[in-house]
Structure 1
Amino acid sequence: MIKTLKVRLYPNEEQTVLLEKHFGGCRFVWNHFLEVRNRYYAEHMNDKKKGLTAFDTMKMLTALKEELTWLNEINSQSLQHSLVELDKAFRQFFRHNASYPTFKSKRDKQYFIIPSGFKAKGNRLIIPKFTEGIKYRDKSSIPNNIKQIVITKDADLYYASIQYESNEELEGGKGIVGLDMGIKHFLTTSDGIEVDPANSYRKFERKIKREQRRLSRKKKGSKNSKKQMVKVQTMHKKIRDARTDFNHKVSTAIAKHYGTVVIENLNIQGMQRNHHLAKSIADQGWYRFKTMLTYKLGWREAKLIEIGRFDPSSRMCSRCGNIKHDLKLSDRIYHCDVCGLTIDRDLNAAINIRNIGLIKVGQGMSEFTPVESAMAGYLNREGISYHSLKQEPQSLQR
């Protein structure tokens, strides 16, 4: 499995200048050859060969380095990798998986990739053009089987994300759980566990508003404006780090204890259109949490099941399967008018998420429960035979 270790770098003044040159050089190469590829397509759109490839631009880069000698100060492999990333962006666009590549600026994420020629020696990371090595600090030691290194800048700090191959075998849990993600509780599990939200942005909201007001009063482009910009960026970094740490801890705990996890496919962008809840929804980091949970379950050979966003998880009674159409968002206690069940709304939804997910992959209970019976008509509308869920689970692998 491929893992990533992120360590903080402590470059000296000369190394800091050279790192900034690497960021700027890779950004320049991306922008230059994006313009070249756009111009080539406009001139040859009626020819057999309409566009340039990564190999074509690499040959052009060699000639460009003879013209612009300052590019020789930068690791050639990092410059070439920028062209590989640009070519990948074009291929993703033509496959309709991403938008058209755009030009980069200093305000975008600053990074460059080192595909080879690196090693760790003591407390220093040795990479091309940095023969003395850059000091780093981390509790973990850097592994030997490194695949590639990504150098990034966040606010005024520098980091190295070291991707390496690990042969470690991780044991997974055996339990089955449904997860309902919300705002009052970050997570509610189908076995009754509630995880309170971190609300990282809310904790810093007043401070960051004050610092942003101070930034708005500074003269644009001045030294004081740049200093204040770093303060604002640092506060945003603290918020991101706190949210990321929280998501890592929760996703790791779930991956360790459960072998099958069922979640909802939430329409996060649609939910954020509610201006009363948009800030709280964005503060949870649900998409990042789902990404973490996916690869951590994959490490342990566990299963992640995702149900549809229109499945009746909140409105359906987890005991009898009755659909409560008049359920409001403010109703935090679910009361069933048919069987009389009174249960926490989020817990009821988590149980339904678990049951719906298991039914869809053919792991329902041996006998038909009221919830399974209520789901039968819904699944038939989706074109899935309900009985095939019990008898032929392999048929659902689509």
Structure 2
Amino acid sequence: MEGIEYRGESTIPSNIKQVVVTKDVNRYYASIQYESEEELPKGTGITGIDMGIRAFLTTSDGLQIESLNALRKNEKKLKREQRRLSRKRKGSKNRKKQIAKVQKLNQNIRDARKDFNHRVLTAIARHYGTVVIENLNIQGMQRNHHLAKSMIDQGWYQFKRMLQYKIEWRDAELIEIGRFDPSSKMCSKCGNIKHDLKLSDHKYHCNVCNLSIDRDLNAAINIRNMGSIKVGKGIPALTPVESATAAELSKGGLRVATL
């Protein structure tokens, strides 16, 4: 069996229980499972998260993270390389080389998306003790051809899966609200339901209490409140975004706004 050289900067733990090696195009990845007595610090406070297309996510305390859009940024290059592939003769060496180019480009897109999700989720899990999300029907939503490409590019399914285990690592709490709860159409101040809200509306204007608020922030506040009520905690007081969270994300090269 061919040996694989390890060139990582991290020290390999001595009490390894299991190692799973996978290959993606021309790269090898080793997932190491080991026991550790180190306890990861648990965050404090509660936040609701609204996943979106315009912004990747918005938290109930006013933190908004811009989408990475790894696929859209590389879409023209990917299409160009795929056209070149279609012109190569089947079975030729040039076709094999072009296949490798396309695979490498797709791999870079996947890696960029995964790295983005890791940085966002690590900051969230580190700073919040309770996280509330919607139980979205991601597969059903992807059948909408207006949203499918953007949703795939955001990597919502991967984000949710990674959020679950990162929250568990820190012994924090993850709450899901129902997919039919009116998080977007309900006013976070007075509870009025705005039935005529459109997908194109970026601002939520309540015609009862005159609240004017970012649409995604309004939804995130409702998600947090619904989740907190669901577990019997009542509606928590609104708190400003933790500056440490925003600073950590910005330091990681992510585009972050405070609403």
**Is TM more than 0.5 here?**
yes
Name stretches of at least 5 consecutive residues in structure 1 with no aligned partner.
1-13, 16-132, 367-398
Query: 1:248 — aligned with what?
Result: 118
Query: 1:175 — aligned with what?
Result: 45
Q: What CA deviation, in whole Å up to 9, does each residue of 1:104-153 have, x standing for no partner?
A: xxxxxxxxxxxxxxxxxxxxxxxxxxxxx531111111111112222222
2:151 is aligned, of 269, 278, 281, to 281
1:355 is aligned, of 225, 228, 231, to 225
Query: 2:239 — aligned with what?
Result: none
Larger Rg computed on CA atoms: 1
Tell me the CA shift for residue 183 of structure 1.
Answer: 1.1
2:87 is aligned, of 204, 217, 221, to 217
Query: 2:204 — aligned with what?
Result: 334
2:70 is the alignment partner of 1:200 = yes
Tell me the CA shift for residue 288 of structure 1.
Answer: 1.1
Tell me the CA shift for residue 237 of structure 1.
Answer: 0.6
2:61 is the alignment partner of 1:191 = yes
Amino acid at match of 1:139: E
Bigger share in helix: 1
2:75 is the alignment partner of 1:229 = no
Tell me the CA shift for residue 166 of structure 1.
Answer: 2.2
Q: Distance in 2 between matches of 1:192 and 1:247?
A: 19
2:36 is aligned, of 166, 177, 195, to 166
Amino acid at match of 2:138: I
Tell me the CA shift for residue 365 of structure 1.
Answer: 3.8
Amino acid at match of 1:205: E
Tell me the CA shift for residue 167 of structure 1.
Answer: 2.1
Name stretches of at least 5 consecutive residues in structure 2 with no aligned partner.
237-259
Amino acid at match of 2:16: I
Amino acid at match of 1:226: K
Secondary structure of the structure 2 residue equivalent to 1:353: helix
Comparing 195-204 and 267-276, the one that deviates more: 267-276
Q: Distance in 2 between matches of 1:159 and 1:310?
A: 39
Tell me the CA shift for residue 156 of structure 1.
Answer: 2.1
Query: 1:314 — aligned with what?
Result: 184
Q: Distance in 2 between matches of 1:360 and 1:231?
A: 49
The structure showing larger relative contact order (alpha-carbon pairs under 8 Å, at least 6 residues apart) is 2
Q: Distance in 1 between matches of 2:4 and 2:205?
A: 61
Instruction: Give the percent of matched residue pairs that are identical in Structure 1 and Structure 2.
Output: 72
Count of aligned pairs between the two proteins: 236
